[in-house]
Amino acid sequence: MTEEHIMIYKMLVTYHNNFKRIGNMYRVANPKLEEEVLVVAREIQSHLKKITS
Question: Could you read off the pLDDT of 8-46 as tens digits, one per residue?
Answer: 999 999 999 999 999 999 888 999 999 999 999 999 999
Half-sphere exposure in the Cβ direction for 53 (13 Å, CA): 6
Q: Answer whether residue 1 shows pLDDT above 90.
A: no
Give the pLDDT score at 51. 86
Contacts for 26-30 with beta carbons within 8 Å, 24 or more apart?
Answer: none
Give the pLDDT score at 43. 96
Residues with Cβ within 8 Å of residue 33, at least 6 apart in sequence = 26
Q: Answer whether residue 52 shows pLDDT above 90.
A: no
Instruction: Give how far Cα 40 sits from Cα of 18, 35, 46, 49, 51, Å.
Output: 11, 9, 10, 14, 17
